[in-house]
Amino acid sequence: MPARTCAIIVVPRNHAPGEAMSETMAGTCRFFLTYSGVNLPLKLMTELEPEQIGHRNTYFQGYFDEQDRLVGLQKMVYGEVEMEHRYAYDRNGKLRRAEITDADGELTVLDFDEDGFRLADATRD
């Protein structure tokens, strides 16, 4: 499948209604119907072709790096970003940080040790 770049809509808390900001996330963008499991990074399931998302109310946009690791995802609902995850890995491919923004715009940051275990309590922004 060819590499695609997708736009991420970033809406800061002090953002005026009707005023959109956009940021491009690097990596290959692919579309999915759902995810499975509760561990991070989420496992996206049932890949969709780009032409299929126009007929869906809800889908996930996944962003993959050159090693095919999920580095970010967005849950899209009626064209709006409802949830966003961003993942950072160490050089050995272990998840080291997850930044999760929920539907209310609240950011939760989770850090992980070199074995992939979560460190201390999550921080909220």
pLDDT tier at 24, thresholds 50, 70, 90? low
Given this model, what pLDDT does residue 11 score?
Answer: 40
Given this model, what pLDDT does residue 122 score?
Answer: 62
Both tokens of 98, joined, read 């997850």
Q: Model confidence over 52-87: pLDDT tens digits?
A: 999 899 999 999 999 999 999 999 999 999 999 999
Asked whether the predicted pLDDT for residue 94 surpasses 70, the reply is: yes
Of residues 117, 79, 82, the one with CA closest to residue 98: 117
pLDDT tier at 32, thresholds 50, 70, 90? very high
Given this model, what pLDDT does residue 34 score?
Answer: 98
Q: Which of 10-24, 36-50, 95-109 has the lowest mean pLDDT?
A: 10-24
In DSSP terms, which residues pair with 14 in a beta bridge?
none
Given this model, what pLDDT does residue 8 score?
Answer: 41
User: What's the Rg (C-alpha) of the chain?
Assistant: 15
Q: Is 65 exposed, middle or buried (0-12, 13-18, 19+ CB in 10 A)?
A: middle
Cβ 103 vs Cβ 83: under 8 Å: yes
